[in-house]
Amino acid sequence: MQSNFLAKLFTITLLIFSLTVTAQFNEEHEGSLEEVSLKTKIKESINHHLLDTHDFIFFSDSETGKHYGFSLPVILWDEGFQLFSSSKFHHGETVAENNGNYYRLYHNKVYRTDAQGTVTLDDHNHPTQIKPFDFSITKSVLMIIVTGILMFFAFVGMAKSFKKGPIVTGAGRFLEPIILYIRDEIAIPNIGVNKYKKYMPYLLTVFFFVWFLNLFGLTPLGVNVTGNIAVTFALALITFIITQFSGNKNYWKHVFWMPGVPVPMKIILAPIELLGVIIKPFALMIRLYANIMAGHIVLMSLIGLIFVFQNWIGSSLSFVLSFAISLIELLVALLQAYIFTMLSALYFGFAVEEHDEAH
């Protein structure tokens, strides 16, 4: 406990010192065009890291304007399927033509336009052009597919090793303790020993899916899948659907007409309970999204400070802080997967729990 406290105190002290030095640096160099340009590049890099893209870029050379990576397929539904490579966009710099239609990237979204790439905005600064249905294989989608394939081969290999003997081999030695922990410490206590088995496939899938994607987000690949609210919304929606379809009569009775409660209170509490049914998956979605997004922003900002500082003290402190936050983010990656799985199991347990109305 004492060592953990000292580690946290050391990290906080470094952070305060780093912010103080940053403030002094900003005051001394305020108005410098070079500094403003550098800060703009850092902000653009952070935004590029956080947003989903139609190509997979490993790194870019700002001086030459070259991007090193590979293009991904663009799949649109616009008067029929439109299929072409994202290389036609040249990283959003040009208009893509396909089957006589013209498309342009605007804030990483595809809009149909004319040959000149004209984009008109309404009073709310929203494009007025037609936005086709986008089924493209983006960077986030690609990483989801890669994670799915990785999980498939890991668990299939583990299942095959069990056929050869009771002792698992290969990657299964790493996975088996985690699977047993999810079963014994998450599923059984929250759902019940008689009903947990049918939920185990989903709980295992969502735990490893979120965990692996969180870890990929900390690699130099620069993916931010679980920091995308559309992804966390889809995961929370699946948990919500499973919960509602699993709900027994006792579950719905405690939502709409609570037993043992006076009728006037039932009328007051029913809308609140119904609202709680919706708030639970919403909180599940926001918790994962906000924690991962905030972690990426903090880490990228600290890395950016290394280039902002023009002295060895500031850059060294920024590097140390970046390293410390990276270690914390490794813990957060596992913790968020655990929390999402735990709360999902808890909601399933609420839905299938049998109540003794006599008590």
Mean pLDDT of the chain: 79
CA–CA–CA angle 54, 60, 107 (5° rounding) = 40
Give me the DSSP letters along 138-165. -HHHHHHHHHHHHHHHHHHHHHHHHHH-
- Compute the average pLDDT of residues 284-302: 87
One domain, residues 220 and 296: yes
CB 69 within 8 A of CB 85: no
- The CA distance from 94 to 117, in Å, is 8
In terms of Cα–Cα distance, which of 195, 207, 201 is closest to 247?
195
Give the tokens for residue 328: 């914390």
The pLDDT tens digits of the residues spanning 140-156 come to: 899 999 999 999 988 88
Same domain assignment for residues 188 and 311: yes
Specify whether 108 is located in the same domain as 146. Answer: no
- Are residues 170 and 93 part of one domain? no
Say which range, 26-35, 119-128, 213-222, has the weakest mean pLDDT.
26-35
Q: What is the pLDDT of residue 60?
A: 66
User: What pairs with residue 81 in β-bridges?
Assistant: 77
For residue 212, name the pLDDT band (cuts at 50, 70, 90): very high
User: Cβ contacts of residue 85 below 8 Å, gap of 6+?
Assistant: 71, 72, 73, 74
Q: How confident is the model at residue 95 (pLDDT cuts 50, 70, 90)?
A: confident
Do the domain assignments include residue 146? yes
What pLDDT shows up at residue 13?
A: 45
pTM over 0.85: no
* Tokens describing residue 133: 């249905």
Q: Which helix (H) or strand (E) holds 359?
A: none
Q: Which pLDDT belongs to residue 97?
A: 84
Domain check: are 163 and 187 in the same one? yes
- Number of domains, the chain: 2
Give the residues across from 82 on adjacent strands.
76
The answer to whether the Cα torsion of 62, 64, 69, 70 is positive or negative is: positive
Which residue range(s) make up the domain with 120? Answer: 72-136
